[in-house]
A and B are shown apart, each in its own frame.
Chain A
C-alpha cells in the first residue's frame, strides 16, 4: 500500500486527485481532532477548510514521512486557531487576542460529564496550554511524543518534557490509571 508520503508526492507531481486518498484515510481522525477541541458543529464546518489548506500546502510535505497525521493535525490546529480568533473577535467586536480554547471544551463536557470527569477536565484546564496540547495529542489522537512535536513545531525532547510535566500534574487525579 502506498504511504501517505507516496500519495502526497504523486498528487504534487501531476496527479492532484491522489490527495483524496490521503483525506479518505484520515478524515474521521481529523474530524475527531476538531470536534474534541471545538465541538461537533465547528468540526463539521471546518473540515473542508483543513483539506483545502493541506492540499494547497502539500508541496511542503516531506514525502519521506509515511504518516501524514501530524502534518494534518498541525494544519487543523491552525484552522482552529483562526476560527477561535474570528469567533472571539465576532463575539467581542474587538481585535482577536490569545485564545484558550479549553474553556470551550470544558463547557462542552460539563453538561454530560460526571463529577470525576469534570474534576479531570478542570485539572487539564489548569495545565499550561503548551503542556496540555502535547498531552492531548498523545492521549486523544494517539500520537507519539515525536509526532506531537511535529504538530506543534517543537523539538521532540521539548514535547517529551512537557508531556512528563503534564502527566505529573494530573497524576493525583488519575491515580491508578496508566495515562
Chain B
C-alpha cells in the first residue's frame, strides 16, 4: 500500500450508520411503491413486514470492503 493510499484510510462505518442511511432510502422506496398501481405484485409488501424482512435480509448479508477502510 502506498503512502497516498494510507493517507486515505478511514475507519469503517458502524452498522447502525449504514442501517440508518438505508432506512432513509427505504422511505423513498416505499413512497414510490405506494404510488404504483394497486394491481402490481409488489404493492402488498410496502410498509409491511415483508418489506422490512427483505431489508433485514439484505442488511444481514456480508458487505464488500471499502478498499480504503482499515
Contact = CB atoms under 8 A, between A and B. Distances in A.
Contacts of A49: 24
Interface string B6-23: 111011110001101111
Contacts of A170: 4
Interface residues of B, number: 41
Given A28-B69, A51-B22, A21 B13 contact: no
Interface residues of A, number: 47
Nearest to A27: B18
A24 B61 contact: yes
A23 B66 contact: no
A154 interface: no
Q: Is the interface of A mostly helix, strand, loop or mixed?
A: helix
A21 B29 contact: no
Contacts of B55: 20
B68 A55 contact: no
Given A20-B55, A40-B11, 16 more contacts: A17-B29, A19-B25, A21-B58, A24-B63, A28-B18, A35-B11, A36-B68, A40-B10, A44-B17, A47-B17, A51-B22, A51-B25, A52-B25, A55-B29, A116-B3, A120-B4
The 8 A-B residue pairs whose C-beta atoms are closest, nearest first, are A48-B24, A140-B8, A47-B21, A32-B66, A48-B21, A51-B25, A29-B66, A28-B66
Interface of A: 14-17, 19-21, 23-29, 31-32, 35-36, 40, 43-44, 47-52, 55-56, 109, 113, 116-117, 120-121, 124, 135-136, 139-142, 170, 174, 177-179
